Amino acid sequence: MLATAAHPGYAATNLQFHSGRRALDIGSWVANRLIAQDEDGAALVEYSVLLGVMLVTVIGTIVLVGGWINTKWTTLLTALSGN
């Protein structure tokens, strides 16, 4: 990835680069124009990243706590079945 020199049209973002692959360069240019240049688009990206981090945390917690609860219920069932 080769960085280009910032000029007034692109100075507000870090999305200025040329990868040498036309499709990636066009996608980057479109993202730069649609999202990164206005504050609402930048806020949208930030909130999307925050939502993703929160989802990963919640799902991980559910998986970990779910396994622990399953073990406790299995132990209780085994103890009650033995009587």
- What are 22-40's pLDDT values in tens digits? 888 788 777 777 666 666 6
How many CB atoms within 10 Å of residue 22? 9
Give CB contacts under 8 A, 24+ apart, made by 27-32: none
pLDDT in tens, the chain (83 residues): 455 555 555 555 555 566 777 888 788 777 777 666 666 666 777 888 999 999 999 999 999 999 999 999 999 999 998 76
Spatial distance between the Cα atoms of 21 and 48, rounded to a whole number of angstroms: 27
Q: Which two tokens stand for residue 49?
A: 């990243």
CB 13 within 8 A of CB 32: yes
Spatial distance between the Cα atoms of 48 and 46, rounded to a whole number of angstroms: 5
Tell me the domain boundaries of the chain: 1-37, 39-83
Q: For residue 27, how many C-alpha atoms fall within 13 Å in the half-sphere facing its CB?
A: 6
pTM score, whole prediction: 0.44
